[in-house]
Each structure stands twice: as structure tokens, then as C-alpha cells.
Structure 1
Amino acid sequence: MVYAGLSSSNRSSDSSVGILGLLAYLGAAVVLMVVDHRGDWLSEVRRQAGSVVAPLYWVASSPVRLATTGYEQFASRQRLNEENAQLRENLLVANARLYRLEAVANENQRLRELLGGTRGYQLDVQLASILDIDLDPFRHRVVLDQGARQGVNVGQAMIDAGGLAGQVTDVQPHRSTALLITDPDHAVPVQVVRSGLRLIAYGTGRSDVIEVRNIPQSGDIEAGDVLVTSGIGGGFPAGFPVGTITSLRPDATQTFLEADARPASAAARSGEVLLVSTSELVDSAVAVAGPPREGDDHVEAEDDEDSGP
């Protein structure tokens, strides 16, 4: 019983001491607040205390800042990957469009060159695409995608951007075959632009060489001369480039000269050609006589004087 009484008195004294201590702390806090409010004496203490406590705040906030930084880095990386993929797709699309535009530009350039080959002539021309090329040493032929249904006729001249390429030899309803001027069985009447000398050019079976035979020793021809169609025979319109003389040599009999020429056309490397109808020439005399030679105007003037009264 005595033990229980002592315990109650001790607990009461401890409670009184605790209340008195709390009141003392509250009083001290009130005094300090009043003094600080009136004299601002504790500002330096607060600044020093803030400097001491700042690292603790930085350490305490580190997990949040690390989490935020990691999320931003992940989001930025993901956004960059998405933008990179989008830019790569746009680049592929742009490249595809660029290649398409380049192909169209090349096709337009080829067509301009083809049409430019008929400049100065009023001819009936027809565009045809090459489907197949046969460059066997004994057969230089091409297959065209135009036939009798499209108005193609046997004997039509075939030209490309460089000049005369060959002649149509076989016509089917929707296809036709043309013989190239380099074929060993092909021959075309030509004329030297510089001198007006008329000759015959033959195919050799080589795609880079045609041959001119039976040239008189006194013939005015030399390396570098340009050969054009003469129009003789009516098979080919006059004035289309055929080739350029590259070399001259005596023939086996030493009586005539022979010449090698580089073909002006490149049908074996072209995709399109033009078929020319000789019946549509405006002045048929031009097709027969060929391009005028130097001095022809003087000869014509003399003929007019002789025929006058």
C-alpha cells in the first residue's frame, strides 16, 4: 500500500516539472520573438542557421531531384528518338520524290533532244520506245513498241538525239524491227558537209564504227569531216547527221580510199527514238538534192544568166 502511494506522488511531481518547463520555454520564445520584432537582433543568427541547415535540405531533396532529372532525361531521349524516326521517314520520302523528279527530268531532256533532231525540218515524226536490242556481230537490230496499228511503215528512217540511227525493216501489228546503221547489211547515202562529196556509208558490225568505201583519190575528204544523209534515193531525209570521219587509208587495190567514221547516233544506249516519214517533207527537192554545197549559189546564179535572153 505504501508503494502505491509513493508512485502517485512521484507522477504528480514529474507532471508539475514538465508543465513548468514548457511554460518556461513558451515564455522564452515569446520574449525572443518580441525582442527580434523590435530590434531585429536575430537576423544574423537565422542566416547562419540557414547556411548550416542548407546542406541538409539539399540532401533531403536529392531523391526528388534525381527522380525528376531521370524522368526528364528519359522523356527527352524518347522524344529525340521519335523525332529522329520521323525525320528519317521524311528523308526517305524526299529522296524517293527527288529520284522520281530526276527520272522525269532525264526523260524530258531525252525527248527535247529527240525533237531537237528534227529542227529545221517539217517532217512527220513518231516517238517509239526500244523494247529489245540485238548487237550480235552479224545482226544490229532493235525492236520497237510501235507497229502497223500505230502507223509504222517499212522503210521509215529512225533517228535519235545524235542523228540517223537506222531504218525500219519489218512491221507487225504492235511491234516493229529496225536495222541499225552499224549492221553489216546496212548502207546509207551520205554527203560530206564541208565539200559536198557524195558517198555511201556501210555498217561494219561494230557499234562504234561505220565505213565509207570507194572514195576517189581526188575526193575532198579528211579526218574530222561530218557526214550527213544526202537524200539520194528518197529512203532517208537529207541533212541528218550520220557520223564523223576518224581516219583514212588506201584500199587493197590502192585505187580508192577507205574511211572509218564514228556514228553520230547512240540508239543502242537510248531508250526512245523517232520514226521519220519522208513523204511529209515540205520541199521534196531538198530531200533529193541534199544540203547545198559551198558555191552552189554561185553556180545557180550562172545558170540563171545563161538561161536569160
Structure 2
Amino acid sequence: MSNYAGSAPPRSSDVAGTLRLLAYLALSATLILLDHRGDWLAQARGHASVAMQPVWWLAGLPSRLGEGLRDDAATRARLSEENRHLRNELLLGAARQARLQVEAEENARLRGLLGAAERGGQEVQLAPILDVDLDPTRQRLMLNAGTRSGVRGGQAVIDASGLVGQVIEATPTTAVVLLLTDPDHAVPVAVARTGVRLIVYGTGRGDVLELRNVPLSSDVRTGDVLITSGLGGRFPPGFPVGTIASLRPDDSRAFLVGDVDAAAQLDRGRDVLLLRDQPATPIGTGTATDADAVTTTAEAPDGAGE
């Protein structure tokens, strides 16, 4: 058997692969031609893109949530800082308003004191209050003014509303005022409506005074205004002392007693006025001695039972 050196015949698998390749090439050419003429592949890609949008949205959701949380945190921090700043500004504004209100009230009170001095036609001296003693048995004020400032014993003390008391002690830098409400204090007064002379006594109770031994025949009524009568020479006439709040018979049924609301604001204020044109009187060694002198002087003209 002789050897034949010719080429081997093609195998069937190679023929099938070649046919598939030709088919793919033909299909590719057809698709390219159709896409070039009808652009249907671009439309298919657009529809595919629309169909993929939910997937892209879900894929970007964590990032968007993170950014939103960061923005919310930054906004909340900024708003918290602004809120703190505004709250501080509000507190400062309220403090300034309160201070202005206090200054306005103080200005009005000082104008009232000035008006009281002008109405009384008296030379006065403004004295700040250092301390207040409102014990039921001891009603006193300590003033930041003394003999170096011209303060003298026996000077009448007033405020914008009426009589406060009198100076009973004085040092070079301070003075002690015996208030109208002190149990040892008495003031000769007159009813502004009728001129009836009476005596008002301290009770040791806040701003309440007391009328004693008022004759039943006296023309005195609840609501009458009491002013200083000037008797005894200790207090100048015409300064308001108080208003009669009530009248009632005493235990003997022979006289009336009454409660009087003090005109002066004894429990408030930071300054008082000292009447400077009153004659100087020696300051006694004890409080009771000075008060008894006032009471004795006042009772002389009223003891006849007016």
C-alpha cells in the first residue's frame, strides 16, 4: 500500500464552527444595518435605561440617606446654637427692661419726693436709708446722713406721701429715725375736713396707726384724712399723716378709737426727706424720753376732750 502525501479532508467540527461564525457575522451585519436605518437599538437601550432606574435609585439610596443625616445634624446643631444665642439675647433684654423699669420707678419716686418738698414749701435734705428695724416694739430707720451733713435731733422726716417720723439720734455719719408706727410715738394731728385736733399713736404694726380718746361728739368719720396740726412745734402743720380706716367705741363706751392707715410708705423706698428749717432740739439719752416729750407736748391741748 503506497503512502499518499495529499491534504487531509476537513473535519465536520471545523465546518460547523465556520458556519456558525459566518452566521454571527451575517447577523451582526444585519443588526448594524437595521440600527443604522431604524435606530431601534438606541430605543432598546433607552427602554433598558428606564427599566434600570429603580435599581440605580436603590443603589444610591444609602449615599443619599447618609448625606441627609449629615445635613440634618448640621442644621440641628446650627439651629441649637442660634436658639441658645437668641435665648441669651432674650434674657439680656429682659434684664435690661427690668433695670429700666426699676430706674423709671426710682425716677418717679424721686420726682414725688421733690414734689412733696415743693408742696410743703420747706427746705429739705435727701437722705438714703441704710437699715430698717420693724420690730413690733422698735420701729426705726437708720439714715446714711449725720451731723456732718447738717442732720439734727428733732428734725421731721417725710417721703413723697406724708410724714415718716422724726430724728431721735445722730452721729457724724448716721442718724436714727423714730417711725410713726413705733409704740412710743405720738403725733398731734387735725382732721383735714373739719380741723378737729386729735392724737395719733404708733402701734408697732406695719403701717397702721391708732386714734385714742376721740370724743363721741367729734365730727370724725371713716375716710377722713389726718394732717399734722403743728401743735407742740415738733412737726410743721399740713403734712399728711394717714386716713381713718375704722372707728369703734372703746371699752368704756365714752370715747371712740380708730385705726389709721399711714400715708407714708413706711415699708418701702430707699430715700427720705429731712425738713431742715426746724429748730434743733437736744437728742435725749433714750428713745422713750424723746417719744414721751412728743406725747406730753401734744396731749396738753387735746386732753380737754375735743
TM-score if structure 2 supplies the norm length?
0.73
* Superposition deviation, residue 46 in structure 1: 4.5
- Give the equivalent residue in structure 1 for 2:239: 240
CA shift digits 1:147-172 (9 cap, x unpaired): 12222222211112321010111111
Matches within 5 A, 1:50-69: 50-69=49-68
State the identity as a percent.
Answer: 49
Instruction: Supply the distance in 2 between the matched residues of 1:22 and 1:119 (Cα, whole angstroms).
Output: 122
- Residue identity in the other structure for 1:31: L
Instruction: Supply the distance in 2 between the matched residues of 1:24 and 1:178 (Cα, whole angstroms).
Output: 126
* Superposition deviation, residue 27 in structure 1: 4.2
- Give the equivalent residue in structure 2 for 1:35: 37
Instruction: Supply the distance in 2 between the matched residues of 1:151 and 1:25 (Cα, whole angstroms).
Output: 126
* Superposition deviation, residue 248 in structure 1: 3.5
- Give the equivalent residue in structure 2 for 1:103: 102
**Secondary structure in structure 1 of the residue aligned to 2:199:** strand
- Give the equivalent residue in structure 2 for 1:297: none
**Secondary structure in structure 2 of the residue aligned to 1:237:** coil
Instruction: Supply the distance in 1 between the matched residues of 2:108 and 2:19 (Cα, whole angstroms).
Output: 108
Instruction: Supply the distance in 1 between the matched residues of 2:183 and 2:59 (Cα, whole angstroms).
Output: 96
Instruction: Supply the distance in 2 between the matched residues of 1:17 and 1:210 (Cα, whole angstroms).
Output: 132
Instruction: Supply the distance in 2 between the matched residues of 1:53 and 1:252 (Cα, whole angstroms).
Output: 108
Instruction: Supply the distance in 2 between the matched residues of 1:69 and 1:25 (Cα, whole angstroms).
Output: 49
Identify if the C-alpha distance between structure 1 residues 277 and 31 changes in structure 2 by more than 3 Å, giving closer, same or farther: same
- Give the equivalent residue in structure 2 for 1:120: 119
**Secondary structure in structure 1 of the residue aligned to 2:53:** helix
TM-score if structure 1 supplies the norm length?
0.73
Instruction: Supply the distance in 1 between the matched residues of 2:36 and 2:71 (Cα, whole angstroms).
Output: 47
For structure 1, the residue ranges without an aligned partner over 5 or more in a row are 1-11, 281-309
The alignment's C-alpha RMSD in Å is: 3.3
- Give the equivalent residue in structure 1 for 2:302: none
**Secondary structure in structure 2 of the residue aligned to 1:69:** helix
Instruction: Supply the distance in 1 between the matched residues of 2:277 and 2:245 (Cα, whole angstroms).
Output: 29
For structure 2, the residue ranges without an aligned partner over 5 or more in a row are 1-13, 280-306
- Give the equivalent residue in structure 1 for 2:291: none
Instruction: Supply the distance in 2 between the matched residues of 1:79 and 1:16 (Cα, whole angstroms).
Output: 72
* Superposition deviation, residue 226 in structure 1: 0.8
- Give the equivalent residue in structure 2 for 1:210: 209
**Secondary structure in structure 2 of the residue aligned to 1:142:** strand
Instruction: Supply the distance in 2 between the matched residues of 1:78 and 1:24 (Cα, whole angstroms).
Output: 66
CA shift digits 1:109-151 (9 cap, x unpaired): 3223333333423222222222222223332111111112222
- Residue identity in the other structure for 1:58: W
Contact 2:155–2:278 under 8 Å retained in 1 = no
- Give the equivalent residue in structure 1 for 2:86: 87
Identify if the C-alpha distance between structure 1 residues 79 and 138 changes in structure 2 by more than 3 Å, giving closer, same or farther: closer
Contact 1:235–1:278 under 8 Å retained in 2 = no
- Give the equivalent residue in structure 2 for 1:198: 197
- Residue identity in the other structure for 2:190: Q
* Superposition deviation, residue 192 in structure 1: 0.7
Identify if the C-alpha distance between structure 1 residues 80 and 249 changes in structure 2 by more than 3 Å, giving closer, same or farther: closer
- Give the equivalent residue in structure 2 for 1:269: 268
Identify if the C-alpha distance between structure 1 residues 32 and 130 changes in structure 2 by more than 3 Å, giving closer, same or farther: farther
